[in-house]
Structure 1
Amino acid sequence: MSELFTDAEDVRQRLDTVGHLVDEGTATALYLATVLDRPLLVEGEPGVGKTSLAKALAQVLDTPLIRLQCYEGLTPGEALYEWNHQRQLLAIRLTEAHGGRLADADLFTEAFLLDRPLLRAVRHQGPLPPVLLIDEIDRADDEFEALLFEFLGEAAITVPELGTFAAVRPPVVILTSNRSRELHDALRRRCLYHWIDFPAPERAAQILRRTIPAASESLIATTTGLLGRVRALDLDKAPGLAEAIDWVSALAALHVTRPSRADLLGTLSAVAKSPDDREAIAGALDSRP
Structure 2
Amino acid sequence: MTPRSIDEAAKLLAGADYVADRRLATAVFLSLELARPLFLEGEAGVGKTEIAKVLAKSLDRPLIRLQCYEGLDVSSAVYEWNVQRQMMAIRIAEAEGGDQVRKLEDDLFSHAYLVKRPILQALEATTYGKPPVLLIDELDRADEPFEAYLLEVLSDYQVTIPELGVIRAEFPPIVIVTSNRTREIHDAIKRRCLYHWVDYPSAEAELEILKRKAPGASERLSREVVAFVQKLRSKDLFKAPGVAETLDWTRALTALDVVVLDPATIDVTLGALLKYQDDIARVRGAESTKLLAEVQEELA
Contact 2:158 2:167 in 1 (8 A): yes
- 2:242 matched to 1:240? yes
**Match in the other structure for 2:287:** 284
Distance across 2 between alignment mates of 1:70 and 1:104:
35
Amino acid at match of 1:218: R
Amino acid at match of 2:139: I
Q: How big is each residue's C-alpha offset from its partner over 1:199-229, in whole Å with a ceiling of 9 and x where there is no partner? A: 0111101001100110001111111101011
Give TM-score, length-normalised by structure 1: 0.96
- 2:121 matched to 1:123? no
Which of 124, 140, 143 is the aligned partner of 2:142? 140
**Match in the other structure for 1:186:** 188
Distance across 1 between alignment mates of 2:251 and 2:115:
41
**Match in the other structure for 2:49:** 51
Offset of 1:191 from its aligned partner?
A: 0.7
- Percent identity, aligned pairs only? 48
Which of 70, 75, 78 is the aligned partner of 1:77? 75
- For residue 233 of structure 1, give the secondary structure of its aligned residue in structure 2: coil
- For residue 267 of structure 1, give the secondary structure of its aligned residue in structure 2: helix
Offset of 1:125 from its aligned partner?
A: 2.1
Amino acid at match of 1:279: A
Amino acid at match of 2:27: A
Offset of 1:257 from its aligned partner?
A: 0.8
Distance across 1 between alignment mates of 2:283 and 2:251:
18
Distance across 1 between alignment mates of 2:142 and 2:164:
27
**Match in the other structure for 2:257:** 255
What are the ranges of 5 or more consecutive residues in structure 2 without an aligned counterpart? 294-300
- For residue 273 of structure 1, give the secondary structure of its aligned residue in structure 2: coil
Distance across 2 between alignment mates of 1:220 and 1:30:
29
Distance across 1 between alignment mates of 2:41 and 2:88:
45
Aligned positions, number: 287
- For residue 134 of structure 1, give the secondary structure of its aligned residue in structure 2: strand
Amino acid at match of 1:116: R
- For residue 5 of structure 1, give the secondary structure of its aligned residue in structure 2: coil
Distance across 2 between alignment mates of 1:125 and 1:132:
12
Question: 279-288 or 253-262, which moves further after superposition?
Answer: 279-288
Amino acid at match of 1:81: Y
- For residue 224 of structure 1, give the secondary structure of its aligned residue in structure 2: helix
What are the ranges of 5 or more consecutive residues in structure 1 without an aligned counterpart? none
Give TM-score, length-normalised by structure 2: 0.93
Q: How big is each residue's C-alpha offset from its partner over 1:110-146, in whole Å with a ceiling of 9 and x where there is no partner? A: 1111111111111112121211000000111110000
Contact 1:233 1:280 in 2 (8 A): no
Question: 174-183 or 88-97, which moves further after superposition?
Answer: 88-97
Offset of 1:281 from its aligned partner?
A: 2.0
Amino acid at match of 1:125: T
